[in-house]
Amino acid sequence: MTAAVQAIAMFTVGLFALLVVVNRDPARQVVAMGMFGTSLAILFLVLQAPDVALSQIVVALAYPLMVLLTLSKVKERRR
């Protein structure tokens, strides 16, 4: 039972990581990155590491935000 949950979580992480890499547009990659971060936090929780899961949740929140801000600044510069 535990092994099944762990396998599903790992498979989901791999799927979302593939999704991030396959997208070429950075704005879409940011959305995929948010999903990937959440699934990674769930994987850490399933593997019995709640400290790491807590950190991962907040970092997966802050990092796409920074990417989006950089993107908007770069687009404005180019205009």
Partner 1 sequence: MNVRARAALFAIAGASTFVLLVWGLAGLPKFGHYGGPYGAVLNRVELRERHATSVVASVVFDYRGFDTAGEEFILFVAVMAVAMVLRVQREEKEAGSHARLGARALGDTSDAVRVAGILLIGPAVLLGLYVVAHGHATPGGGFQGGLVLSSAPLILYLVGRYLSFRRLNPVSLLDFGEGVGIGGFVVIGLIGLVAGIAFLDNVLPLGRPGSVFSAGTLPVINLSVGLGVAAGIVLILFEFLEQTLMIRRR
Under rule CB under 8 A, residue 73 binds partner 1: yes
Q: Which is nearer to partner 1, 19 or 75 (CB)?
A: 75
Q: Does 65 bind partner 1 (CB under 8 A)?
A: yes
Q: With binding defined as CB under 8 A, does residue 18 bind partner 1?
A: no
Handedness of CA 66, 28, 32, 18 (dihedral sign): negative
Q: How many residues bind partner 1 (CB under 8 A)?
A: 14
Candidates 36, 35, 33; CA nearest to 68 is 33
Asked whether position 1 contacts partner 1 by CB under 8 A, the answer is: no
